[in-house]
Amino acid sequence: MKFFIDTANLNEIREAQALGVLDGVTTNPSLMAKEGIAGKNNILAHYKTICEIVGGDVSAEVISTDYEGIIKEGEELAEIDEHIVVKVPMIKDGVKALRYFSNKGIRTNCTLIFSAGQALLAAKAGATYVSPFIGRLDDISFNGVDLIEQIVAIYRNYDFDTQVLAASIRNPIHILQCAEIGADVMTGPLSAILALLKHPLTDSGLEKFLADYKKVNG
Ligand code: E4P
């Protein structure tokens, strides 16, 4: 399972990268705005910096919602770095754009996926990744992990190359559930990734080992 971090914060990306488990980064316009990154040149430069830190796939989302606009923006984003994956919303013109990018060899991440039907369509259109949003489904009392399981099963039936990128991850349990059902990738906040390493018995066990060492070694 690939680990992506879902942030545009450079310090968090550096921290996850330093841990040695990071395979990529996903961003979205809200995450970019949270970091105060505004203006086309600053936005493109920020994506480039992220690519240089992580050396893995970096999803950069288009703002346009019409076919021509998505194509123009996506081509500009893809020019930034070989690691850029163009993030395209699950709308009609987005699906058409996925096919265009796929034919051109530009990799894509189809975002805002909330149903298996949308995921099937994105795969048919040649998306590299689909991003079903687990946390946002849980928020409205739908089981987000069930959707991941359904999409994984459908893609296996037909050997689609499209990878299931479990997004809107909120906690370490989400990560484990996605790993159990075979999601290809998860993208989540640094807090969820770091929470995987915590266990009270690890902490108390280490404390005892160090105390016992000290007893005889001073
Ligand atoms: C996906 O790529 C999105 O950036 C993201 O995972 C959305 O997560 P949220 O629901 O926590 O905003």
Strands 24-26 and 185-188: unpaired
Contacts of 195 (CB under 8 A, 6+ apart): 171, 172
By most ligand atoms within 8 Å of CB, the mutation choice from 111, 168, 191 for ligand 1 is: 168
For the record, the structure tokens of 7 come out as 């942030």
Residue 215 known to be catalytic: no
Whole-structure pTM value: 0.96
| Ligand 1 atom closest to residue 59's alpha carbon, by position in its atom list | 2
Catalytic residue among 2, 40, 87, 96: 87
Nearest CA to ligand 1 atom 8: 168
Q: What is the CA 168 to chain-centroid distance, rounded?
A: 8
Number of alpha carbons in the 13 Å side-chain half-sphere of residue 190:
14
pLDDT value at residue 218: 85
| Per-residue model confidence (pLDDT) at position 17 | 97
Quote the ligand 1 centre to 203 CA distance (angstroms): 31
pLDDT per residue over 172-198, tens digit each? 999 999 999 999 999 999 999 999 999
Maximum alpha-carbon separation in the chain: 73
Q: Which two tokens stand for residue 47?
A: 């994506």
CA-nearest of 60, 58, 56, 122 to 90 is: 122
pLDDT (0 to 100) of residue 19: 97
CA of 217 to the centre of ligand 1 (A): 50
Pocket test for ligand 1, best of 187, 190, 191 (most atoms within 8 A of CB): 187
Query: For 133, which DSSP code?
Result: B
- SS3 for 132? strand
Residue 24 three-state SS: strand
Domains and CATH numbers, the chain: 2-217 (3.20.20.70)
Going residue by residue through the chain (218 aa), what tens digit of pLDDT does each one get? 999 999 999 999 999 999 999 999 999 999 999 999 999 999 999 999 999 999 899 999 999 999 999 999 999 999 999 999 999 999 999 999 999 999 999 999 999 999 999 999 999 999 999 999 999 999 999 999 999 999 999 999 999 999 999 999 999 999 999 999 999 999 999 999 999 999 999 999 999 999 999 999 98
Q: Atom 9, ligand 1: which residue's CA is nearest?
A: 168
